[in-house]
């Protein structure tokens, strides 16, 4: 397998609606394998064909690992999906905000509101029909990648222009929030201790 180069903004391919895949031949299988390799090498959870310069309705997605009762990652619990010619056929009214990044916009993160659950119809890597019911973070990844196939980037859907940060800004903001939460918990514990008879 070969690691491919990921294209970044302002490359025009990222703004084009990708064309449908019509041939499920050896070339497509090689491209899919190379996309999986590239996604993993970049520590991504999804990669759409336009991100490697191929204007095709194709994306690979690998879910986050499941965790055990202690919050530790369960080995080999990530699920790999290959979606070809996907479309969202239903989305929930419930929406949720989440922070997203993109391998084609390195060094930045932004908050995006998306439906909590979706249903997707697609084909697998061999052309067989797929029907998927997705929710939570997995649904978000699918929506993000399907947007790529329509020339849409997460920065087009920010909840607010202010909710867009460099990696460093976001890390500092999260650190400050965690420290504030810990300080609040400390105050609550002190109050409980002082109220004891």
Which of the residues are catalytic?
Answer: 145
Q: What is the three-class DSSP state of 128?
A: coil
> CA–CA separation, 10 vs 6, rounded Å?
12
- 178 CB-near residues (< 8 Å, 6+ apart): none
> CA–CA separation, 36 vs 52, rounded Å?
11
Q: Are 116 and 150 in contact (CB under 8 A)?
A: no
Q: Are 21 and 56 in contact (CB under 8 A)?
A: yes
| 105: Cα within 13 Å, side-chain hemisphere | 19
Q: Which two tokens stand for residue 194?
A: 């002082």
């Amino acid at each position: 397998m070969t690691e491919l180069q990921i294209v970044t903004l302002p490359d025009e391919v990222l703004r084009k609606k990708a064309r449908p895949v019509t041939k499920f031949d050896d070339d497509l299988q090689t491209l899919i394998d190379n996309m999986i390799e590239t996604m993993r090498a970049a520590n991504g959870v999804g990669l759409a064909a336009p991100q490697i310069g191929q204007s095709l309705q194709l994306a690979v997605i690998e879910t986050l690992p499941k965790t055990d009762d202690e919050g530790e990652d369960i080995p080999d619990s990530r699920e790999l999906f290959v979606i070809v010619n996907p479309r969202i056929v239903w989305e929930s009214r419930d929406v949720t905000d989440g922070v997203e990044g993109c391998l084609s916009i390195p060094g930045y993160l932004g908050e995006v509101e998306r439906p909590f659950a979706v249903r997707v119809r697609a084909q697998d890597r061999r052309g067989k029909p797929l029907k998927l019911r997705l929710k939570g973070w997995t649904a978000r990844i699918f929506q993000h990648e399907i947007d790529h196939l329509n020339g849409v980037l997460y920065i087009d859907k920010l909840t607010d222009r202010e909710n867009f940060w460099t990696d460093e800004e976001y890390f500092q903001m999260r650190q400050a929030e965690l420290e504030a939460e810990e300080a609040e918990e400390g105050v609550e514990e002190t109050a409980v201790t002082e109220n004891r008879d």
